């Protein structure tokens, strides 16, 4: 298995495992970075797994970069035979108010930066992915579970990979030019990834809806979020549930009072089981809430 | 003991040396963009060099002291005025009770560091007092200062004499700067001509230059190698499957304008990064005003490490200079 190692300045080592997105590469990234974390190597400052790559920040005054590279190559080789194929994780239900007034108002302000100025982001995504209308598209977006394959961009933003055969995965381009505004907790889409914007700010992903569920908590006001301030972790499995405006109001008020309780179930994700039968596997994931 | 903010300036935020260990969840280091000037200002007032101080971008604040306070200003050339009377930069002074501190327009550089005896007292969040404004974290309520804010100070025990910062630790403001970078990451996505021009071009700092990133303008877009996009990457030739962004890395969305990510960086995304500014040159970026000229120089890793060693020696000498006898 190939990997591309690249030193980034004098403090970072960047490793690309696959040029294209696939869960196999994510599991490889998680295996190597978990191993590095367990070894507690002196001089390693920060370990950042991503979708199909990872990055290590290190202190070159304590750890030689080439030694770190050799170590990571060794881990990769040693793990190749018995790479982690299962992941003890959780399934999280995320309620989504699709086609909500806030993202709609925002997207209207940035039509000049969009591929199709005379349609909403949902209408555009539905059309280019071959769905009859936005209702069918929303149904498709919320029908399959999603796999959190990276956390970042801004604080706590999850990148989510659709659990579906590649030919059925939704794909949309990013905005032609990024927006300068995105409502907090917007559910977005770019490339093959869904995301949830954790804070208000710039963004280039298409906007489909909004969740009342807080996912980043710098004030320490949300009981479901620990001292890291961040709710999601790589490996989490997400199930979107469409909600209407009335339900959104109720849940949003709960969140404002620090009383939002997400539905969460422990779960063991099995990569081989998923790859054998993605459609059947995805359908079974949803049964944890049955 | 507190300081009243009469006018906040353009963008003034509380910063220390930053927080480490949360980038993997998208929380960047933050902290002073010009770390050496922050250290110098703190040492001049007798603080530990990493105490929380104010970082003031391009236009300084106006502050009133409710008690007498030791103050020092280092970094950008923005002359301090105490009750209208000009004072030297890079030299500690006492602001009497009730006095008002303001600043002249910036003459050179971009960021002034303003340290107060004791250091600013805000709660540490994830191990630092630094403001990460995009994430609403740290500093004063996670944001830049506003008129009407009050800053509390930690007790100041120092009685060191009021001293000057020697010339060698002051930033230099040249007409044209060279930033040294280690090429790599997704550099192969640039065409050979694009790569050549990236290093040959004299770039200008764009007006979109802040703590997240510095954007640069050139003559014409750089060319990427056309290709069938890998699954999940997106259709633009400058797109990649979303990956981590090292601090100091340079991306060129659409080939148009290079962006250097700085201390409030977004931690990852879908644009090809092509090189990384060496750690020893990161302070310099914090002092670049819009329209300044910049060139990029490719260096190898041993050269980057050598420059890092020299930078660390400079910091160590600065600490020794102010160490009590």
Residue B251 has pLDDT above 90, yes or no: yes
Looking at residue B254, its pLDDT comes to: 84
Looking at residue A177, its pLDDT comes to: 82
Q: What is the pLDDT of residues B264-314, one digit of tens each?
A: 999 999 999 999 999 999 999 999 999 999 999 999 999 999 999 999 999
Between A and B, how many CB-CB pairs are < 8 A? 181
What tokens does A13 get? Answer: 């080592």
Interface residue A151 vs chain B (CB under 8 A): yes
Looking at residue A76, its pLDDT comes to: 95
pLDDT band at B181 (very low <50, low <70, confident <90, very high): very high
> What is the mean pLDDT of the segment spanning B3-19?
98
Using CA atoms, how far apart are residues B34 and B110, in angstroms rounded to an integer? 10
Q: What is the pLDDT of residues B125-161, one digit of tens each?
A: 999 999 999 999 999 999 999 999 999 999 987 778 8
> What is the mean pLDDT of the segment spanning A27-38?
95
* A155 to B269: CB separation less than 8 angstroms, yes or no: no
pLDDT band at A216 (very low <50, low <70, confident <90, very high): very high
Q: What is the pTM of this model?
A: 0.95
Q: What is the pLDDT of residues B280-294, one digit of tens each?
A: 999 999 999 999 999
Chain A residue with minimum CA distance to B230: A20
Q: What is the pLDDT of residues B66-80, one digit of tens each?
A: 999 999 999 999 999
- Which residues share a beta bridge with A86? A270
Q: Quote the percentage of chain A above a pLDDT of 70.
A: 100
Chain A residue with minimum CA distance to B277: A9
Determine which of A5, A7, A9 to mutate to test the interface with B (most B C-beta atoms within 10 Å): A9
Chain A residue with minimum CA distance to B243: A50
* B270 to A174: CB separation less than 8 angstroms, yes or no: yes
Interface residue B24 vs chain A (CB under 8 A): yes
Indicate the residue of A48, A51, A218 with minimum beta-carbon distance to B137.
A218
Q: What number is the ipTM of this complex?
A: 0.96
Q: At what angle do helices A134-143 and A121-128 cross, to 10 degrees?
A: 80
Paired sense of beta strands A4-8 and B239-244, if any = unpaired
Residue A269 has pLDDT above 80, yes or no: yes
* A153 to B235: CB separation less than 8 angstroms, yes or no: no
Looking at residue B161, its pLDDT comes to: 87
CA distances from B202 to B59, B220, B282, B284, B295 (A): 27, 12, 18, 17, 5
Residue B1 has pLDDT above 80, yes or no: no
Looking at residue A82, its pLDDT comes to: 73
Stretch 154-213 of chain B: residues touching chain A, C-beta under 8 Å:
181-182, 184-185
- Vertex B95 angle, CA B91 and B97, to 5°: 170
pLDDT band at A178 (very low <50, low <70, confident <90, very high): confident
Q: What is the pLDDT of residues A93-119, one digit of tens each?
A: 999 999 999 999 999 999 999 999 999
What tokens does A92 get? Answer: 């999280």
Residue B234 has pLDDT above 90, yes or no: no
Contact, A202 vs A232, CB < 8 A?
no
| Contacts with A155 from chain B: Cβ below 8 Å | 25-27, 132, 134-135, 137
Q: How many CB atoms lie within 10 A of CB B322?
A: 17
CA distances from A23 to A6, A74, A275 (A): 22, 22, 9
């Amino acid at each position: 298995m190939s990997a591309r190692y690249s030193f980034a300045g004098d403090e970072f080592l960047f490793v690309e495992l696959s040029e294209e997105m696939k869960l196999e590469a994510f599991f490889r990234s998680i295996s190597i970075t978990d191993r590095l974390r367990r070894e507690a190597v002196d001089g390693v400052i920060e370990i950042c797994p991503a979708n199909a790559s990872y990055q290590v920040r290190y202190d070159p005054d304590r750890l030689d970069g080439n030694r770190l590279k050799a170590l990571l190559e060794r881990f990769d080789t040693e793990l190749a035979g018995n790479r982690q194929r299962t992941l003890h994780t959780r399934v999280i239900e995320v309620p989504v108010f699709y086609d909500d007034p806030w993202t709609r108002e925002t997207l209207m302000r940035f039509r000049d930066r969009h591929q199709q100025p005379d349609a909403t982001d949902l209408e555009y995504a539905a059309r280019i992915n071959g769905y009859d209308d936005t209702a069918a598209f929303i149904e498709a977006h919320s029908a399959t579970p999603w796999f959190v394959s990276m956390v970042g961009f801004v604080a706590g933003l999850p990148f989510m990979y659709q659990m579906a055969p590649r030919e059925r995965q939704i794909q949309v381009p990013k905005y032609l030019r990024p927006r300068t505004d995105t409502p907090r907790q917007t559910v977005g889409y770019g490339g093959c990834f869904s995301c949830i914007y954790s804070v208000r700010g710039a963004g280039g992903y298409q906007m489909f809806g909004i969740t009342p569920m807080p996912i980043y908590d710098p004030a320490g006001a949300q009981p479901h979020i620990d001292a890291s301030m961040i709710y999601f972790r790589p490996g989490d499995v997400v199930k979107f549930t469409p909600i209407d405006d009335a339900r959104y109001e109720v849940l949003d008020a709960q969140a404002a009072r620090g009383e939002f309780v997400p539905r969460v179930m422990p779960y063991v994700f099995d990569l081989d089981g998923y790859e054998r039968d993605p459609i059947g596997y995805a359908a079974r994931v949803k049964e944890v809430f049955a | 003991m507190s300081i009243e903010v009469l006018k906040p300036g353009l963008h003034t935020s509380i910063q220390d040396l930053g927080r480490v260990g949360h980038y993997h969840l998208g929380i960047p280091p933050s902290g002073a963009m010009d770390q050496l000037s922050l250290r110098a200002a703190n040492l001049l007032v007798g603080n530990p060099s990493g105490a929380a101080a104010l970082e003031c971008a391009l236009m300084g604040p106006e502050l009133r002291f409710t008690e007498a306070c030791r103050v020092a200003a280092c970094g950008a050339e923005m002359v301090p005025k105490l009750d209208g009377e000009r004072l030297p930069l890079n030299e500690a002074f006492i602001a009497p009770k009730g006095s008002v501190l303001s600043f002249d327009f910036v003459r050179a550089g971009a960021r002034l560091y303003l340290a107060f005896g004791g250091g600013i007292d805000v709660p540490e969040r994830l191990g630092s007092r630094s403001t990460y404004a995009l994430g609403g974290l740290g500093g004063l309520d996670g944001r830049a200062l506003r008129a009407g804010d009050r800053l509390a100070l930690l007790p100041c025990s120092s009685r060191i004499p009021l001293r000057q910062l020697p010339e060698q630790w002051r930033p230099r403001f040249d007409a044209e700067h060279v930033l040294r970078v280690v090429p790599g990451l997704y550099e192969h996505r640039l065409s050979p001509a694009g790569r050549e021009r990236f290093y040959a071009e004299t770039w200008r700092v764009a007006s979109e230059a802040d703590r997240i990133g510095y954007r640069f303008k050139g003559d014409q877009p750089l060319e990427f190698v056309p290709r069938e996009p890998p699954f999940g990457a997106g259709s633009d030739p400058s797109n990649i499957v979303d990956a981590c962004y090292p601090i100091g890395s340079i991306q060129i969305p659409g080939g148009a304008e290079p962006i250097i990510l700085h201390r409030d960086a977004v931690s990852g995304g879908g644009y090809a990064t092509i090189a990384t500014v060496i750690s020893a040159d990161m302070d310099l970026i914090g002092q670049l005003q819009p329209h300044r000229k910049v060139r990029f120089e490719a260096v190898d890793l041993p050269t980057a490490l050598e420059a890092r060693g020299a930078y660390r020696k400079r910091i160590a000498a600065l600490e020794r200079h102010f160490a009590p006898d």
